[in-house]
């Protein structure tokens, strides 16, 4: 049974990595390609990568643990915020104070890891 689970987990990981690698390729052009004789000194242009592969893989592996934790915190925060609003007879400010736990990104992105995008777990960081 464990061997089957490991094989399925490995296959899922391979499929996820293959799909993410495929999604980074530029889409095929619908227009017919016209080839023009280039000048002899012209260098071929490379398409710049938008992310470092290490950052993308690191973000993907961090999200394996972060997303379930984040979902649990959001679910608990939503229920507690609603309960706080109910107990305080509809005080919206009290409920929103608890709902501040639910604000923040649901996933970690490569931009957060390289520092170009701000990351905070909730409004109380």
Q: Judge whether residue 122 has pLDDT over 80.
A: no
What is the residue extent of each domain of the chain?
51-125
Q: What's the pLDDT score for residue 6?
A: 78
Q: Which residues contact 96 (CB under 8 A, 6 or more apart)?
A: 81
pLDDT of residue 114: 86
pLDDT value at residue 7: 74
Average pLDDT over residues 39-64: 76
**CA of residue 19 relative to chain centroid, distance:** 14
Cα within 13 Å of Cα(88), Cβ side:
15
pLDDT in tens, 69-105: 999 999 999 999 999 999 999 888 998 888 888 888 8
What is the residue-averaged pLDDT of the chain? 78
Residues 21-31 have a mean pLDDT of 56
For residue 35, is pLDDT > 90?
A: no
Going by C-alpha positions, the residue among 101, 71, 96 that lies closest to residue 82 is 96
Q: Cβ of 110: how many Cβ atoms within 10 Å?
A: 19
Res 81: pLDDT: 92
Token pair, residue 104, equals 């923040």
Note the pLDDT of residue 76: 92
Report helix, strand or coil for 23. helix
């Amino acid at each position: 049974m464990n061997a089957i689970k490991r094989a399925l987990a490995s296959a899922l990981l391979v499929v996820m990595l293959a799909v993410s690698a495929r999604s980074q390729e530029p889409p095929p052009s619908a227009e017919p390609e016209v080839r023009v004789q280039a000048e002899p000194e012209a260098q071929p242009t490379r398409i710049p990568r938008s992310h470092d592969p290490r950052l993308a893989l690191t973000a993907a592996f961090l999200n394996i643990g972060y997303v379930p934790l984040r979902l649990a915190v959001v679910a608990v925060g939503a229920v507690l915020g609603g309960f706080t609003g109910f107990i305080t007879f509809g005080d919206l400010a009290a409920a929103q104070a608890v709902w501040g736990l639910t604000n923040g990104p649901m996933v970690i992105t490569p931009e957060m890891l390289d520092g170009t995008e701000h990351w905070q777990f909730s409004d109380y960081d």
